[in-house]
A and B are shown apart, each in its own frame.
Chain A
Amino acid sequence: MAPIPTEATDLNSDGVRSTNGDMDDAALLHAMQGGDESSVAVLYDRYGGAAYGLAHRITNDATLAEDVVQDAFVSVWKQCARFDGSRGQAKSWLMTIVHHKAVDTVRRRAGRPERPLPEGFDEPVAVLGRPDELTERSMDAAAVRNAVRGVPEDQRTTIMMAYFEGLTHIEIAERMKVPLGTVKSRLRIGLEKMRAELRQKVLE
Chain B
Amino acid sequence: MNCEQAEEMLGAYALDALTGDEMTAMRAHLASCPEHAAKATELRAVAASLHAVAEPMAAPAGLRDRITAAVAATSQTEASRPAAAIARHQPLDIGVRRETRPSSRLHWRPAMTFGAIAATLAIAVAGMLAWNISLRNESGGAAISVVRPLQQDSGATAGYIVLFDDGEATVVSDAMPRLDASQSYQLWSLSDTGEATSLGLIQYVDGGSASADVSFDAARTQRIAITIEPAGGSEQPTTQPLYIADLS
Contact, CB under 8 Å: B76 / A123:
no
By the criterion of a CB under 8 Å from any partner CB, how many residues of chain A are at the interface?
Answer: 86
B45 within 8 A of A: yes
Q: If A74-B67, A118-B23 touch, does A198 touch B46 (CB 8 Å cutoff)?
A: yes
Alpha-carbon distance between A188 and B10 when the two chains are bound, in angstroms:
6
A49 within 8 A of B: yes
Q: If A127-B127, A131-B45 touch, does A37 touch B72 (CB 8 Å cutoff)?
A: yes
Of B41, B63, B68, B128, the residue contacting A120 (CB under 8 A) is B128
Chain B 20-40 near chain A by CB (<8 Å), digits 1 or 0: 100110110000000000100
Contact, CB under 8 Å: B134 / A183:
no
Please choose the segment from B50-58, B163-171, B194-202, B216-224 that sits at the chain A interface, where 4 or more of its residues have CB less than 8 A away.
Answer: B50-58
Of A37, A160, A186, A195, the residue contacting B68 (CB under 8 A) is A37
A-facing residues in B156-213 (Cβ within 8 Å): 205-209
B8 contacts across to A, CB distance below 8 A? 181, 184-185, 188
Contact, CB under 8 Å: A140 / B52:
yes
Across chains A and B, the number of contacting residue pairs, with CB separation under 8 Å, is 243
Q: Would you give the shortest CB distance from B168 to chain A, in whole angstroms?
A: 17
Q: Would you give the shortest CB distance from A68 to chain B, in whole angstroms?
A: 11
Alpha-carbon distance between A52 and B138 when the two chains are bound, in angstroms:
32
Contact, CB under 8 Å: B52 / A188:
no
Q: If A81-B80, A131-B42 touch, does A144 touch B57 (CB 8 Å cutoff)?
A: no
A18 within 8 A of B: no
Contact, CB under 8 Å: A191 / B130:
no
Chain A 80-116 near chain B by CB (<8 Å), digits 1 or 0: 1111100100001001101110010000000000011
Contact, CB under 8 Å: B80 / A188:
no
Contact, CB under 8 Å: A159 / B50:
yes
Alpha-carbon distance between A141 and B49 when the two chains are bound, in angstroms:
8
Contact, CB under 8 Å: B23 / A144:
no
Alpha-carbon distance between A148 and B51 when the two chains are bound, in angstroms:
11
Q: Would you give the shortest CB distance from A32 to chain B, in whole angstroms?
A: 8
Q: Would you give the shortest CB distance from A183 to chain B, in whole angstroms?
A: 7
Q: Is the interface of B mostly helix, strand, loop or mixed?
A: helix
Contact, CB under 8 Å: A145 / B52:
yes
Contact, CB under 8 Å: B74 / A78:
yes
Of B9, B44, B67, B206, the residue contacting A125 (CB under 8 A) is B44
B111 within 8 A of A: no
B72 contacts across to A, CB distance below 8 A? 37
Please choose the segment from B118-126, B145-153, B234-242 that sits at the chain A interface, where 4 or more of its residues have CB less than 8 A away.
Answer: B118-126
Contact, CB under 8 Å: A139 / B52:
yes
Q: Would you give the shortest CB distance from A38 to chain B, in whole angstroms?
A: 8
B135 contacts across to A, CB distance below 8 A? 81
Q: Would you give the shortest CB distance from B81 to chain A, in whole angstroms?
A: 8
Alpha-carbon distance between A57 and B123 when the two chains are bound, in angstroms:
28
B13 within 8 A of A: yes
A48 contacts across to B, CB distance below 8 A? 59, 63-64
A53 contacts across to B, CB distance below 8 A? 54-57
B-facing residues in A156-200 (Cβ within 8 Å): 159-160, 162-164, 167-170, 172, 181, 183-192, 194-195, 198
Of A83, A167, A192, the residue contacting B43 (CB under 8 A) is A192
Q: Would you give the shortest CB distance from A156 to chain B, in whole angstroms?
A: 10
Chain A 125-154 near chain B by CB (<8 Å), digits 1 or 0: 101111100100001110011001000000
A79 contacts across to B, CB distance below 8 A? 79-80
Contact, CB under 8 Å: A62 / B15:
no
Contact, CB under 8 Å: A119 / B11:
no
Alpha-carbon distance between A160 and B135 when the two chains are bound, in angstroms:
36
Q: Would you give the shortest CB distance from B139 to chain A, in whole angstroms?
A: 11
Contact, CB under 8 Å: B57 / A49:
yes
Q: Can you report 23 residue pairs joining A to B where beta carbons are below 8 Å apart?
A: A48-B64, A50-B54, A50-B56, A52-B63, A53-B55, A70-B66, A77-B71, A82-B130, A116-B16, A122-B206, A123-B124, A125-B44, A128-B123, A128-B126, A128-B130, A129-B118, A144-B50, A145-B53, A163-B15, A163-B47, A191-B10, A192-B11, A198-B49
